[in-house]
Structure 1
Amino acid sequence: MTFPLDASEILLLLSGYTVLRLLMTAVSTSAIVAAIERTRPTPTSTHAQSEVKS
């Protein structure tokens, strides 16, 4: 056997790597969004509440 890995093992490694990349991207994106929402004093919610009252 010339290959140290089977084709199924290579596919498993590739899919696992892809899932990890997607997880890291989602985590970093949500962290960026959370940081942006933390720095802003959420003017949209107060504005929406005042519009509903009037």
Structure 2
Amino acid sequence: MNGGVFRSIKIALEDQLGNGALEKFDQSAKDNMKDMNNYSTILYNNFKKLL
């Protein structure tokens, strides 16, 4: 991602959620990645059953 875009995202997050919002978001994503992957697999498998 280009530096200007990244900076814009960080500023927008901090405007809405306060200082350190990007770091908190990043940590939360890391903490929940395994669960999100498992839920995605379940969703995909259920979708395939419908086809």
Name the structure where helix makes up a greater proportion of residues: 2
Pair member with larger Rg:
1
* TM-score (structure 2 length as normaliser): 0.46
Q: What TM-score comes out, normalization by structure 1 length?
A: 0.44
